[in-house]
A and B are shown apart, each in its own frame.
Chain A
């Protein structure tokens, strides 16, 4: 079956630093989604990517759809305390209504 490897598993950074996390897949995806989840809440969609090579920004967040369609990364610039949470990547193959394949998450901690 499809697998998504998300790294790193956790990160501790100083406020103001930039952050980068990525996901790699054993399969080709046609859609990449990035979510943030706060404790006890549902994941919130941050960025959606639909084309290989696509680079999309949402405020301080930037995500890219890899050229091979098997990877994606998310960058956060100038981190702030409210960036704390778990970040998930998710991918979907073409025409698959069944489900998204989720990464295992990156736990981000921002130190003051």
Chain B
């Protein structure tokens, strides 16, 4: 089956520790994204990558880092510098076909990170 997978579903970490959230897609999409969602709020962009070995900061990149060594994978590291890391993290990829007139974005199931 094609899709976006995120792991783990739930993650607990102690204050001061770095933690890496996994995101994998087998949809052959070029662009991938990380969002943060807080209770009762919309989605805020952390980082995005349009192509392998390239990524750009979103609106709330401070305290986060990413890598894009493979097209299929876009892991997000939440560092100890992130002041309030407890949130629901969503990964997404963009399905863009210029000639097909398609421009959609699909989300993974999310990872809920709790800092103890």
Q: Smallest CB-CB separation from B104: which chain A residue?
A: A48
User: Is B48 in contact with chain A by the CB < 8 A criterion?
Assistant: yes
Chief secondary structure at chain A's binding surface? loop
Of the candidate stretches A55-63, A72-80, A102-110, the one touching chain B is: A102-110
Within 8 A of A (CB), among B48-93: 48, 50, 56, 58, 88, 90, 92
Contact pick for A42, options B42, B103, B107, CB 8 Å: B107
- The total number of A-B Cβ pairs within 8 Å is 54
12 contacts between A and B (CB under 8 A): A40-B88, A42-B90, A42-B110, A43-B43, A44-B107, A45-B105, A45-B106, A50-B101, A50-B103, A97-B31, A99-B45, A104-B41
B108 contacts the other chain (CB 8 A): yes
Q: Which residues of A are found within 8 Å of B105, using beta-carbon distances?
A: 33, 45, 90, 100
Q: Is the interface of B mostly helix, strand, loop or mixed?
A: strand
User: Which residues in B have some Cβ–Cβ distance to A below 8 Å?
Assistant: 4, 6, 31, 33, 41-43, 45, 48, 50, 56, 58, 88, 90, 92, 94, 96, 101-110, 112
Give the size of the chain A interface in residues (CB under 8 angstroms): 23
Q: Is the CB of B110 within 8 A of A97?
A: no
Q: Flag if A88 contacts B43 (CB, 8 Å).
A: yes
Interface centre among A41, A42, A90 (most CB of B within 10 A): A42
Name the contact of A98 in the complex, choosing from B6, B48, B104 (C-beta under 8 A). Answer: B48
Q: Which of A31, A35, A40, A99 contacts B110 (CB 8 A)?
A: A40
Q: A97: which of B42, B58, B96 is its contact (CB, 8 Å)?
A: B96
CA distance A103 to B43 in the complex (A): 8
Q: Check B109–A41 contact: CB distance below 8 A.
A: yes
Asked if residues B112 and A42 are in contact (CB atoms below 8 Å), the reply is: no
Interface pairs A-B: 4 shortest CB-CB: A42-B107, A104-B42, A102-B42, A99-B45
Smallest Cβ distance from B10 to chain A, in angstroms? 9
